């Protein structure tokens, strides 16, 4: 902090103000605002010219300077008041319990820190082993790939499943891009290049140049059922989601049980400790009943506009056992279908002997689903690859 002030001081008077402002920016930073020295300097410039006698003028200036998102915008006033009005109450100026900007208060419906902690990779294991370990992993992968995910409990095996899934997700994306590129090659003339090349022929376009369309990455939205009936599979799919988020350029992930929760930000958290903390906060209600229809309604209402584009595939992972009303589920599925390019419904139960989609929820949802597939082991997930590649 002293360093910051030293930099600010030569730029003009008002050392007291500079010191206070540096402190304020620090409090904001602790609250997850993306602000740094540059903002402090700009803030000081703005403050000198804003009518300082007018406290609100100062507040307005800092607000549009230091906020970068709607969440910041909403929280700013409270933090401002705590800092500039309640002198010396710095420690209390941490508004809301969440430290990170990305997980806005709306994203995480404040939950009790109860419930099982999700299986997030603690960073050790396969990665560290290097080249030799990879070969060993491959043969093990084979045996694991066919195992029903229900029967996998050992933490080491779980970690390997995580790695394997990440590889699958990576492969899915890679193929997608390459195929697009090859197929679309040379559709349109690149006039700019044609003219360039024609100059040396005195203006006759002898050599043509084509444009290949830029390959567009597939967007994937995964909506995972984390209710009691899916409990056996949830840990696995959480890993799958992590793999998807890491490997697809544009992906979002949601979890639902009785409520819908946006977990992308928490899942992307690099710091395992923090991720665990954030996940456990959200996990209230984990492995309870299911209200698929209501949760999809929440998705359609709050997230669909931003998460879904015309080339988004929605992947719902659920067994379709719904305690809510099937009418709502049907209507919301229809709405989702209008927005998304494809809906893939993965149901771990399909592989069970004698399973037919009789769960009432499943029956009303099925007409809107493009692909209804099993997802009880890694092989079944890998079998999706060619389908997703065609999207």
Partner 1 sequence: MTLDREEVLKRLGAVGYVAGPQLATAIVLMRQLSRPLLIEGEAGVGKTEVAKALAEVLETPLIRLQCYEGLDASAAVYEWDYQRQLLAIKIWESEDRTAEEKERHIFDEDFLLKRPLLKAISMEKPPVLLVDEIDRADEEFEAYLLEVLSDFQISIPELGTVTASAIPYVVLTSNGTRELSDALRRRCLYHYVDLPSEAKEMRIVTARLPGIENALVAQVVRFVQALRKEDLHKKPGVAETLDWAAALVGIGVKDLRTDPQALHESLMCLLKTQEDQAAVPIEVVERLAGKAG
Q: Where along the sequence are the contacts to partner 1 (CB under 8 A)? A: 34-35, 39, 42, 45-46, 49-51, 56-57, 60-61, 63-65, 67-70, 72-74, 191-192, 194-195, 198-200, 202-203, 301, 305-306, 309-310
Residue nearer to partner 1 on the CB measure, 51 or 379: 51
CB of 211 to partner 1, least distance (A): 10
Cβ-proximal residues to 300 (8 Å cutoff; 6+ apart), any chain: 332, 335, 336, 339
Instruction: Identify the DSSP state of 377.
Output: S
Residue nearer to partner 1 on the CB measure, 67 or 313: 67
227: tokens are 């209710």
132: tokens are 């030799």
CB of 115 to partner 1, least distance (A): 28
Determine whether 333 is exposed, middle or buried from the number of CB atoms within 10 Å of its CB (0-12, 13-18, 19+). Answer: buried
CB of 62 to partner 1, least distance (A): 9
Cβ-proximal residues to 382 (8 Å cutoff; 6+ apart), any chain: 145, 168
Residue nearer to partner 1 on the CB measure, 60 or 174: 60
Residue nearer to partner 1 on the CB measure, 167 or 211: 211
Residue nearer to partner 1 on the CB measure, 66 or 343: 66
265: tokens are 């930000």
CB of 232 to partner 1, least distance (A): 33
* CA angle at 265 for the pair 79 and 256, rounded to the nearest 5°: 110
CB of 331 to partner 1, least distance (A): 9
Describe the chain by its helix, strand, coil percentages, rounded to 5: 55, 10, 35
**Tokens 């799919």, residue located:** 237
Whole-number Å distance between alpha carbons of 99 and 298: 25
Could you tell me how many residues make up the chain?
391
CB of 199 to partner 1, least distance (A): 5
CB of 245 to partner 1, least distance (A): 13
Residue nearer to partner 1 on the CB measure, 19 or 335: 335
Other Cβ atoms less than 10 A from the Cβ of 9: the count is: 13
Residue nearer to partner 1 on the CB measure, 177 or 198: 198
Residue nearer to partner 1 on the CB measure, 99 or 123: 99
Whole-number Å distance between alpha carbons of 261 and 269: 16
Whole-number Å distance between alpha carbons of 352 and 379: 15
Residues 257/298, Cβ–Cβ less than 8 Å: no
CB of 124 to partner 1, least distance (A): 30
């Amino acid at each position: 902090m002293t360093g910051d002030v030293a930099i600010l001081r030569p730029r003009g008077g008002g050392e007291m103000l500079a010191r206070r402002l540096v402190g304020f920016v620090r409090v904001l930073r602790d609250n997850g605002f993306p602000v740094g020295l540059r903002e402090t300097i700009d803030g000081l410039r703005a403050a000198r010219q804003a009518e300082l006698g007018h406290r609100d003028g100062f507040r307005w200036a800092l607000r549009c300077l230091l906020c970068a998102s709607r969440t910041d915008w909403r929280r700013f006033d409270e933090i401002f008041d705590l800092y500039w009005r309640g002198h010396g109450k710095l420690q209390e100026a941490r508004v809301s319990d969440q430290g990170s900007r990305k997980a806005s208060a709306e994203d995480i419906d404040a939950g009790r820190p109860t419930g099982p902690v999700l299986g997030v990779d603690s960073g050790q294991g396969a990665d560290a082993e290097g080249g030799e370990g990879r070969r060993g992993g491959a043969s093990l992968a084979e045996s694991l790939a066919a195992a029903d995910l229900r029967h996998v409990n050992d933490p080491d095996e779980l970690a390997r499943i995580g790695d394997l899934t990440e590889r699958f997700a990576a492969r899915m994306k890679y193929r997608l891009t390459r195929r697009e590129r090859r197929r679309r090659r040379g559709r349109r003339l690149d006039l700019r290049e044609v003219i360039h090349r024609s100059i040396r022929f005195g203006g006759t376009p002898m050599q043509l140049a084509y444009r290949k369309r830029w390959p567009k990455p597939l967007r994937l939205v995964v909506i995972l059922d984390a209710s009691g009936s899916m409990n056996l599979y949830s840990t696995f799919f959480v890993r799958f989601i992590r793999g998807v988020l890491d490997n697809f350029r544009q992906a979002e992930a949601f979890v639902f049980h009785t409520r819908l929760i946006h977990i992308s930000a928490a899942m992307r958290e690099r710091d395992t400790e923090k991720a665990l903390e954030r996940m456990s906060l959200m996990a209230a209600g984990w492995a309870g009943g299911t209200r698929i229809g209501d949760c999809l309604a929440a998705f359609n209402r709050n997230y669909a506009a931003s998460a879904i584009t015309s080339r988004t595939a929605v992947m719902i992972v659920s067994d379709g056992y719904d305690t809510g009303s099937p009418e709502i589920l049907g209507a919301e599925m229809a709405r989702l279908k209008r927005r998304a390019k494809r809906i893939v419904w993965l149901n771990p139960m399909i592989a069970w002997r004698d399973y037919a989609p009789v769960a009432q929820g499943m029956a009303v949802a099925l007409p809107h689903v493009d692909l209804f597939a099993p997802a009880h082991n890694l092989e079944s997930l890998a079998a999706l690859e060619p389908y997703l590649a065609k999207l």
